[in-house]
Amino acid sequence: MSELRLFSVENGKAQECHVAFFKLEREIQNLFEVNLDALLGVRFVASEFSTGQGGRIDTLGIDENGFPVVIEYKLNSNRTVINQGMSYMAWLRSHKTDFWKVVFEKLGREVADSIDHSSTRLICIASDFSRDDLGAYELMPNNIDLVRYRRFGERQLLLERITSSDLTATPTPGASAIKSGPDKPIIQILEEASPGTKVLFEALKQAIISKGEDVSEKATKLYIAYKRTRNFASIVAKKDELLLFLHLNPDSVEIKEGMRDVRAIGHWGTGDLEIKIRSVEEIQQATDLILKAYEGQS
């Protein structure tokens, strides 16, 4: 395990901040549930959700791609949560109506109807993970995130995603249960695209994933998302062009030709800045903005 040390610097003098420990697991859960979107990019749905089969999901949520999310916490490394979390993921896949109802009650019909059951995520939060945890992770699908936290005093919280999912291959039609609807899936659009558009997509994809080893790719019905802990970029395919959406504040960017502030405009994909991509040169011009989105600058 790598050593993480945090220092505060005041008037040129560095002073080490020492780790403060939570006394109860519920303290961790409360902190995350109040700040779920800011910390993990997940909308809160329910706490201590009963499966009706003797189990309780610590935190139930839905992420920015519409995927159901199970979040489990542990105070230390003495208890494993992955196997329990996996059983809850299986429960969600077989109780889609129950999940729809609780999302509808908490977040409304629009969000409930946007649920994408083609993937269910498990996020495990702990101060550390044991060898058993890491061994179990190696045997599981890549929709599991292990997130380690460090608390420094009352004002600072450090999160470290210690597992990096391999990039998921862009699936073929029928490979997974994709939400139904009148819009043509992005997978089909890319399959039917011209050779030039396919080359352009691969070049844009490489420009995004090359920003770090912790970047993972996930195809939804209408767009392909790229994330670290949360999405920072997504690609939407049109007939003759690609649309790149970045999680950047458009007010912090010089809006040039081919770029658009879409905060008040409905669109596929996630992110507030839209960039039209029609050539490799436009990908090169967008590289610095992709890096800023990856680094969380806005």
158-190 confidence digits (pLDDT tens): 888 876 554 444 443 333 334 455 678 898 899
Give the per-residue pLDDT at 18: 84
**Mean pLDDT of all residues in the chain?**
86
Q: What is the mean pLDDT of residues 202-231?
A: 90
pLDDT at 44 over 70: yes
Phi, psi of 276 (to 5 degrees): -80, 135
pLDDT at 258 over 80: yes
pLDDT at 17 over 80: yes
pLDDT tens, position by position, 48-72? 999 987 789 999 999 999 999 999 9
Confidence of residue 286 (pLDDT cuts 50, 70, 90): very high
CATH of domain 6-161: 3.40.1350.10
Contacts of 91 (CB under 8 A, 6+ apart): 51, 53, 55
Give the per-residue pLDDT at 140: 67
For 81-85, 94-98, 129-133, 204-208, which range has the lowest pLDDT when averaged over its residues? Answer: 129-133
pLDDT tens, position by position, 130-156? 777 777 777 665 678 888 888 888 788
Give the per-residue pLDDT at 199: 93
| Portions of the chain given CATH number 3.40.1350.10 | 6-161
Give the per-residue pLDDT at 171: 43
Between CA 199 and CA 146 the distance in angstroms is 34
Give the per-residue pLDDT at 55: 87
Contacts of 259 (CB under 8 A, 6+ apart): 253, 273, 274, 275, 276
Burial class (CB in 10 A: 0-12, 13-18, 19+), 166: exposed
CATH of domain 186-295: 3.90.1150
Give the per-residue pLDDT at 290: 96
pTM over 0.85: no
| Portions of the chain given CATH number 3.90.1150 | 186-295
- Alpha-carbon dihedral 237, 239, 241, 242, rounded to 10 degrees: 0
pLDDT at 114 over 60: yes
